[in-house]
Structures are given as structure tokens and as C-alpha cells.
Copies of this chain bind each other. A is one copy, B any other.
Amino acid sequence: MPETSFSSVGIDFGGTSVKLGVCRAGELLCTDEPIPTADFHGPHALINEMAARVANLRVTFPDIAAIGVGVPGLVDFDRGFVHELTNVPGWKHVPLKTLLSDKSGLPVVVENDANAMAWAEFRYGAARGLRNVVALTLGTGIGGGLILNGQMYRGSQDSAGEIGQMSIDFDGVPGHYGNLGALEKYTGNLQIAQHAVEAYAQIGVHKDLSDCTPKAIAEAAAAGDEIARGVWGEIADWLGTALSSIAWLLNPDAFVIGGGVAQAGDLIFDPLKRKVQSMVSTVVWEHLKIVPARFSNEAGIIGNAALADELVPS
């Protein structure tokens, strides 16, 4: 039974495409054709297109009551203001909430994409019913979103959850900000591939980076390849170190892990769980879940629609 009597539009605004869908109480009712981001020059043209798409969707779904937009960058949540999207030209200081609300005539919420993913898992996914949740997406970088005391936790400048920038080695590899030992310099997709290429090279096997996607390494490991297994073991050590630190600090109910690496399944989750268990107390460990995300490509749409639901009086 749906918890709401209305629908919301979720918009997952990415550097390549803008994906739209209609949801009711976490159920994806339909997805619209993606909008190629580069086809629209500047915020106004793209926001007009978003509003036009929403207007079209309302013909079929007249009960659409709100819009949630997730963006790949830093937002001011209260104002729905986009500070800057480094991967989308022209998106700097954009009052997205005001503009899209004016165009569409609907209430709008604007959120960081990692937070929206976390909200999707908290409201309708792998972390449903839990109170303290740390969600991570493993990809080129590592994004994170936090649900603490049953609320989205955004931090003082809406910048919380940057798990990929946390240090796992005070004397380690510098990250994007010069931050030594930044986790994503160890477990980002490119770093995993580089690490695998080097590991194969040590036994005289030549591989290209393109041979060593997380998926390829995972499949090789599943097929019994010892080098691939070793690579996964090290990823688990690095990622597990960061998760352990977060577990000591936040004592959460769950880590929910999405993105490419997470698709490796038990192969990555089993060594990761062993590592975290070896690094935390029994009290912290015994109730802790480390689980794959329920939603993958549609997490953004569902999470943003779920955030939009919160705008509508019940």
C-alpha cells in the first residue's frame, strides 16, 4: 500500500545526461527519455527543458505534487542554490530551486546526488527502517551520504559525506586537495585498474587499464584468478580501514555500498566485512550491517522523488 496519495518527479542531473522519472512512495512508475546535458547550453535552457518534461509527465500523472533534483556538486540546500558543477559548463551560482519552481509551478527540492542516493536507500532500499546509515557510491571517486538520528545529515556548509577524501595513511598518496592518503586515490576505479595492471605485470602478464575495470577484476577473481583475488583483498583492506574509522566515530546501523565495485558481490563484501570486524569492538560490530545498495541506476530518480515527497503536506 503506497504511503502517499500523490506522485513526485525525481531528476538525476548528471554530467552526461539528465534522467527523469515519476515515483509514488518509492515505486518508480515511469522514466522519461534522458536529456543529453550537453545539448542545452547554460542553466536556463536546461531548466526550461526540465520544466517542459515535467509538464508533459503531468498529462499522464496529474497527481505529481513536487520535484526533487539531485546535482553532481555542492548545493546550498535551504536555498536550493547550486554553487558549482565542475563537470557541467556554465553551472555556477544557479538558483535552481527558484528557477525550476517558477517554471513548473511545483515545489522543488535540490540536493547533492550522493545524499539523494543515501535517502533512497534509507526510505525505500537496503537501509529501510534503520536510524543511522552511511551510504557510499564507489566509482571514479567515492561519494557518500549520511542519515543520522533518522535525518539527512548535511554538515555546516552542506558538504558532509566526502568519504573519498578521508585519509587512510597520514603519509600516503596525495588526493585532489593535497590531502595525504585520500581513500579515493586507493579505491577509485582508475586506481583499482592501475593497481591490477601492476599486480599482473609483476608476474609478467601484460594488461591494459581497460582490461581491469572493477567488473573485469571481479569476474576474474570469481573465476579463481589469484592476482585478481589479491587485488580485491587489498581494496578491502583500504576501504575497510576507512569504514572502520567511520564505524568508531558514528557507530552506525549500516553501511550501504553502491556503484561499480559493489557489483562484485560477496567477493568484495566478504573480505571487507572481515577487515571491518578485525578493526572495531564487538559492541560496534555485532549490530553493524555492510550491505549492497538496493538501487543502482535508478537510485538518483527514486531518492530525489522521495526527497520531493517531504515537501508535500501529508
Q: How many residues of A contact B (CB 8 A)?
A: 51
**A56-64, A156-164, A202-210, A262-270: which one contacts chain B?**
A156-164
A132 at the interface (CB under 8 A from B): yes
List B contacts of A248 (CB < 8 A): 162-163, 165-166, 179
**A100-108, A213-221, A237-245: which one contacts chain B?**
A237-245
A279 at the interface (CB under 8 A from B): yes
A170 adjacent to B237 (CB under 8 Å) = yes
Q: Which residue of B lies closest to A241 (CB)?
A: B170
Could you say which of B132, B160, B161, B180 contacts A241, with CB atoms under 8 Å apart? B180
**A28-36, A42-50, A147-155, A225-233: which one contacts chain B?**
A147-155
Question: Quick one: CB contact mask for A126-140 with B, threshold 8 Å, 1 for yes?
Answer: 000001100000000
In the assembled complex, the Cα of A244 lies from the Cα of B182 at a distance in Å of 10
A251 at the interface (CB under 8 A from B): yes
List B contacts of A244 (CB < 8 A): 166-167, 179
B159 adjacent to A251 (CB under 8 Å) = yes
List B contacts of A148 (CB < 8 A): 148-149, 153
List B contacts of A181 (CB < 8 A): 168-169, 241
B249 adjacent to A249 (CB under 8 Å) = yes
List B contacts of A163 (CB < 8 A): 248-249
| Distance between A235 CB and nearest chain B CB, rounded to angstroms | 11
A284 at the interface (CB under 8 A from B): yes
List residues of A (8-61) whose CB comes within 8 Å of B's CBs. none
Among A157, A178, A280, chain B packs the most CB atoms within 10 A around the CB of: A157
This protein's copies in its complex: 2
In the assembled complex, the Cα of A178 lies from the Cα of B241 at a distance in Å of 12
B249 adjacent to A161 (CB under 8 Å) = yes
In the assembled complex, the Cα of A168 lies from the Cα of B172 at a distance in Å of 10
A168 adjacent to B170 (CB under 8 Å) = yes
List B contacts of A283 (CB < 8 A): 74, 157, 159
Could you say which of B160, B250, B252, B278 contacts A251, with CB atoms under 8 Å apart? B160
Among A163, A166, A253, A284, chain B packs the most CB atoms within 10 A around the CB of: A166
B281 adjacent to A159 (CB under 8 Å) = yes
Could you say which of B146, B178, B279 contacts A278, with CB atoms under 8 Å apart? B178
In the assembled complex, the Cα of A226 lies from the Cα of B279 at a distance in Å of 36
| Distance between A190 CB and nearest chain B CB, rounded to angstroms | 19
Listed A/B pairs (29) with beta-carbon separation below 8 Å: A131-B156, A146-B250, A148-B149, A148-B153, A153-B250, A154-B251, A155-B251, A156-B252, A159-B251, A159-B281, A160-B249, A162-B284, A163-B249, A165-B248, A165-B280, A165-B281, A166-B244, A166-B249, A167-B168, A167-B245, A168-B181, A169-B171, A169-B181, A170-B237, A177-B279, A178-B278, A178-B279, A179-B244, A179-B279
